[in-house]
Amino acid sequence: MRPTMTCTPDVAPALPERPLHSSWLRRLMSALSKKGWSFARRGWNAGRGKPLASACVGLAHAVAPVYRVHRLVAQERSMPSFDVVSDFDQHEAGNAVDQANREVQTRFDFKGTGSKYAIDEQVISLTTQSDFQLRQMLDILRLKLAKRGVDIACLEEQPPESSGSEARQKVILRRGIDTDRARKLVKEIKAAKLKVQAAIQGDKLRVSGKKRDDLQSVIRLLKDTDIGLPLQYENFRD
């Protein structure tokens, strides 16, 4: 007599009606690995110990939640959405620094001061002889960046440092939306009571909704929201 396996019938977790969010997806996929064995045991019992029948039923029980996950992910991807980011063009920032260097090298009031700019990824270093000249160099840098299409709101100026006859200062080009600012944006969107969902995804924000008009309303809302960073809107999906 072939032994049978017994188990308490499990009820597959009810899936939400609303679009699937990444956090919910991670929790569900984690649960699938735990549920898979119980689904297989249920299939064995349903097949009454018959190897082929139990295997087929167990496979059906194990695959069903995965199918539902893929269906909900496809549903979320099919909804209109866009990403809110904070970024700058690295190439244009480099061009702006080159132009600023050419200007200080040709200006009479900077002659013989050894004034120069240097850029390394997201950090621009300014070197000259005095704090007054540093302030002049900052003005030149802002102007050149703005002309190259780099929003100067992304600049974070570090305190100047002086040593003997040399003055230095670093300016950071900020990239990405930090968690605190992203939470503030999500809060603003929820307070507006628009029929959209906003989810933090790393250093950006994903906004999705059924109607494009609602997404346009979110963009207008965020343009009037000051978080101390420039925002761009990209990856529009219909």
Distance CA 167, CA 10 (A): 70
| CATH 3.90.1150.10 correct for 81-87+177-237 | no
Q: Which pLDDT does position 14 carry in this prediction?
A: 46
Q: Where are the domains of the chain?
A: 22-78, 81-87+177-237, 90-173
The reported pTM is: 0.64
The pair of structure tokens assigned to 202 is 């790393």
Look-up of token digits 């300016």: 171
Ranges of residues in the chain with a pLDDT under 70 are: 1-78
Gap between the Cα atoms of 7 and 72, Å rounded: 29
User: Could you count the other beta carbons within 10 Å of the beta carbon of residue 132?
Assistant: 10
The answer to whether 227 touches 184, Cβ cutoff 8 Å, is yes
For the chain, strand residue ranges (E) read 81-85, 116-120, 123-128, 155-157, 161-163, 166-173, 196-201, 204-209, 232-237
**How far does CA 144 lie from the centroid of its chain?**
28
For the chain, the helix, strand and coil percentages under 3-state DSSP, each to the nearest 5: 50, 20, 30
pLDDT of 68: 57
Bridge partners (DSSP) of residue 157 are 171
pLDDT recorded at residue 19? 47
- Per-residue pLDDT of 6-16, as tens digits, reads 444 444 444 44
Do 90-173 and 81-87+177-237 have the same topology in CATH? yes
CATH of 90-173, one of 3.30.930.10, 3.30.450.20, 1.25.40.10, 3.30.70.990: 3.30.70.990
pLDDT in tens, 52-82: 555 555 555 555 555 555 555 555 556 889 9
Q: Rounded to whole angstroms, how far apart are CA atoms 74 and 179?
A: 27
